[in-house]
Amino acid sequence: MEAAISEFNHKPAKGIEYLLSNKLIENNATSVALFLKSNSSLDKVMIGEYLGQHEEFPLAVMHAYVDSMKFLGLKFDTAIREFLKGFRLPGEAQKIDRIMEKFAERYCGDNLGLFKNADTAYVLAYAVIMLNTDAHNPMVWPKMSKSDFVRMNTMSDAEECAPKELLEEIYDSIVKEEIKMKDDFPDAAKTNKHRRETEERGLVNILNLALPRLKSANDTKAENEKIIKQTQALFKNQGQKRGVFHVAQQVELVRPMLEAVGWPLLATFSVTMEEGDSKPRVLLCMEGFRAGIHLTRVLGMDTMRYAFLTSLVRFTFLHAPKEMRGKNVEALRTLLAFADTDMDALQDTWNAALECVSRLDYITSNPSIAATVMQGSNQISRDSVIQSLKELSGKPAEQVFVNSVKLPSDSIVEFFTALCSVSAEELKQTPACVFSLQKLVEISYYNMARIRLVWARIWSVLSQHFIAAGSHHEEKVAMYAIDSLRQLGMKYLERAELNKFTFQNDILKPFVILMRNSHSEKIRGLIVDCIVQLIKSKVGSIKSGWRCVFMIFTAAADDETEYIVESAFENVEQVILEHFDQVVGDCFMDCVNCLIGFANNKCTPRISLKAIALLRICEDRLAEGCIPGGAVKPVDVVAEANFDVTEHYWFPMLAGLSDLTLDSRPEVRHCALEVLFDLLNERGHKFSSPFWESIFHRVLFPIFDHVRHAGRDGLSSGDDWLRDTSIHSLQLICNLFNTFYKEKLDM
């Protein structure tokens, strides 16, 4: 066993393999998880590394490890403290992500109703780790305020936000007492201290959605004054030595010098670029721009960096191809080079940089526009410039998008926001351009492996843009956007979703909005086709996404185009008959509403009758207890005070069938009547007296509303069909009354 522990503390996977091959523990995830929890000789860092792995067996071990913990009744910050006692968070964002997701699922499973869904707990878990790093790490300044922490946990949906009082309580607890994981090997204190500093530095980089923060203007001013005094003292002490050059060891010493000469240098570069075409001078200016942008980024001099970058963008002249010269090509080359060398320097100028890439593609892909480049110059010069532009539109421009994966978490959101803005402008053109829309799909693929917390921020930007693009007046543009949504949805569904999370639902929500708002038959048909493809290829992966699937099919049920209705219903039927247990749980009522919608559709009675039959199947499964919390308890069992099963699950089905008894098609209303009263006769003995009273007033009596009004006004010959239904309904209601009257009277 000691050899196995030693092996684990060096290479966790090898250590577990040694344990299993020598039969020191059972070959299953639960046994390995118990070993990791109970053995105090294991290195906590290595436990964290192993739990964060993505391979099937380590992932199962991590799930078993977290599932073995009990968080019932624990405050959120107490639960995290307890959770992190046994291991250190690993040093990779994806590994931390998997662990925190599972923690959120487990905590919500033990504390039902505390949060609307696990997404809230997941965001809060990350926020707590960030706050802990922020509050107790001297590398981070300024510190996160209580209002910052509350804002970090604010969702677009107010119901999904954690209570403000809870957030403030957690903030006070973490600031007062750091979440610490004790070192396990006292003889390695120095090593552990160094490793801890390295880990904390890594956490700052990983959890950089709000960190690190830029220093305030006052901090910068004070720092500059201190540096100037140090420099003056240095010159004074060394002043007697002539011709001696002193090498500065601190990069901060450059700041006051750059502040003094930066603006004049920028003016010099700009004037030189405007007034001359000398290539050597242009290249020197470009070197100056590169150095200026790099230094201002390193020193946090954002105003000057922005001025250098915007001047460089202006000198590309992509907005005026007729006036382009060789010097403008060099400016563009320099701008694109930052995608390879110093991509994060672009920061708040992404919009301008991406506009340049868009204009470059527009010029090089349109011969008529390319022909206007450098108008009035000799053909050789023009051909040279056009050739240079085509070369830049290839790999150099593509690297802007490929290298987006290298951007830190906060910058990638800015990048997506800027590209959506550029794409929106392209879509306003006539004809519309989809270059940036296509690039959005590509970089979404590149960046989909980012942690969910970051991807959620990206998607909040992307989804709104795809909704706007999917609503475009040009049908081909809208169809391109919707098909792009399908591709992204298909890709994202490859990621497993744990219980009580809802992000799949967020991914598919744009389809719902577009389906409900589109006036185009082709667009609605395409949306249904996209969802059908998603179901057929990812039926085993869809969880919270089923809610949106049923919403889309409900909208299709209200459609007047027969092939849309047919296609949607065929898939609803298949889902219920073949995948009911896997699909219908939290979204049972969405399924019921969908079937009621199809039953009311007037395209063909065949679909309506099938939908009623499927409603009966759903009722049977509900009665059998297949829906969590949906089984009707005997009337003598005390129900939960804040949740009425019959009202939540049963009443919508009964009311839907009641409405169908007034359908103009005889076969539909007769079928609805039979199913309604069969259901009441079969399940009524479990209904309480108050619910029976509700059934009579809200389900059964409304069947006769038409007769009551017609009786007052006089029945016309056109209402003869109603007499049969009314008489049939009256007979069934009398039989029902006779069946349950004595039973309810005894109660």
**pLDDT tens-digit profile of 59-81?**
999 999 999 999 999 999 999 99
pLDDT in tens, 105-135: 999 999 988 998 999 999 999 889 889 888 8
The pLDDT-based confidence of 474 (bands split at 50, 70, 90) is very high
Retrieve residue 673's tokens: 């009547």
- What's the rounded Cα separation, in Å, for the pair 314 and 327? 12
| pTM: predicted TM-score of the whole model, two decimal places | 0.85
Q: Is the pLDDT of residue 715 over 70?
A: no
Q: Please give the pLDDT value at position 518.
A: 95
CB 122 within 8 A of CB 102: no
The pLDDT-based confidence of 253 (bands split at 50, 70, 90) is confident
Query: Given CA atoms 533, 536, 538, 539 in this order, what sign does their dihedral have?
Result: positive
Retrieve residue 501's tokens: 């999370």
Residue type, 651: F
| Angle, vertex CA 718, rays to CA 716 and CA 720, nearest 5 | 85
What value does the mean pLDDT of the chain take?
A: 86
CB 258 within 8 A of CB 301: yes
The pLDDT-based confidence of 686 (bands split at 50, 70, 90) is confident
CB 52 within 8 A of CB 92: yes
pLDDT in tens, 537-589: 999 899 999 999 999 999 999 999 999 999 999 999 999 999 888 776 678 88
625 class by beta-carbon count within 10 Å (0-12 exposed, 13-18 middle, 19+ buried): exposed
Instruction: List, in order, residues 6 or more apart from 356 with CB less than 8 Å away.
Output: 313, 316, 318, 332, 335
Q: Which long-range CB contacts under 8 A does 387-390 form with residues at least 24 apart?
A: 388/326, 388/329, 388/333, 389/329, 389/332, 389/360, 389/363, 389/364, 390/364
Mean pLDDT of 19-48: 93
pLDDT in tens, 480-520: 999 999 999 999 999 889 988 999 999 999 999 999 999 99
Within 10 Å of residue 668's Cβ, how many Cβ atoms?
Answer: 21
643 class by beta-carbon count within 10 Å (0-12 exposed, 13-18 middle, 19+ buried): exposed
Between 583 and 530, the higher pLDDT residue: 530
What's the distance, Cα to Cα, between the start and end of the chain in Å?
Answer: 66
Task: Output the DSSP codes for 523-560.
Answer: HHHHHHHHHHHHHHHHTTT-STTHHHHHHHHHHHHT-S
Q: Please give the pLDDT value at position 211.
A: 37
Q: Is the pLDDT of residue 268 over 80?
A: yes
- What's the rounded Cα separation, in Å, for the pair 121 and 77? 11
The pLDDT-based confidence of 139 (bands split at 50, 70, 90) is confident
Q: CA–CA distance from 655 to each of 534, 626, 652, 662 (Å)?
A: 32, 21, 5, 12
CB 281 within 8 A of CB 329: no
pLDDT in tens, 625-656: 877 665 665 544 444 544 567 788 889 999 99
CB 493 within 8 A of CB 541: yes
CB 628 within 8 A of CB 688: no
- What's the rounded Cα separation, in Å, for the pair 373 and 387? 11
Q: Please give the pLDDT value at position 722.
A: 60
Between 234 and 715, the higher pLDDT residue: 234
Q: CA–CA distance from 303 to each of 221, 292, 348, 405, 410 (Å)?
A: 14, 12, 10, 26, 19
Mean pLDDT of 460-470: 96
CB 152 within 8 A of CB 210: yes
Q: Please give the pLDDT value at position 625.
A: 80
Query: Given CA atoms 705, 707, 713, 716 in this order, what sign does their dihedral have?
Result: positive
Catalytic residue among 7, 17, 92, 259: 92
Between 573 and 208, the higher pLDDT residue: 573
Known catalytic residue at 92: yes
Tell which residue, 424, 517, 434, has the closest CA to residue 462: 424
Residue type, 460: S
CB 372 within 8 A of CB 385: no
Q: Please give the pLDDT value at position 104.
A: 95
- What's the rounded Cα separation, in Å, for the pair 679 and 638? 23
pLDDT in tens, 415-447: 999 999 999 999 999 899 999 999 999 999 999
- What's the rounded Cα separation, in Å, for the pair 518 and 442? 26
Retrieve residue 469's tokens: 């693009």
The rounded percent of the chain whose pLDDT value lies above 90 is: 57
Q: Please give the pLDDT value at position 205.
A: 57
Secondary structure letter of residue 405 according to DSSP = G
Tell which residue, 16, 48, 15, 20, has the closest CA to residue 184: 48
Q: Is the pLDDT of residue 745 over 70?
A: no
Retrieve residue 470's tokens: 């999917």
CB 335 within 8 A of CB 319: no
Between 235 and 294, the higher pLDDT residue: 294
Q: Please give the pLDDT value at position 724.
A: 72
Mean pLDDT of 526-535: 96
Tell which residue, 128, 133, 131, has the closest CA to residue 203: 133
Query: At what angle are helices 435-447 and 409-427 packed, to 10 degrees?
Result: 160
Secondary structure letter of residue 661 according to DSSP = T
Tell which residue, 567, 617, 563, 570, has the closest CA to residue 592: 617
496 class by beta-carbon count within 10 Å (0-12 exposed, 13-18 middle, 19+ buried): exposed
Element (H, E) at 29: helix 29-38
CB 507 within 8 A of CB 459: yes
The pLDDT-based confidence of 103 (bands split at 50, 70, 90) is very high
Within 10 Å of residue 360's Cβ, how many Cβ atoms?
Answer: 22
Retrieve residue 404's tokens: 């987006």
| Angle, vertex CA 513, rays to CA 511 and CA 514, nearest 5 | 65
Tokens 């053995």, located at residue? 39
How many helices (H) and strands (E) the chain has is answered by: 36, 0
Mean pLDDT of 160-189: 78
Mean pLDDT of 658-676: 90
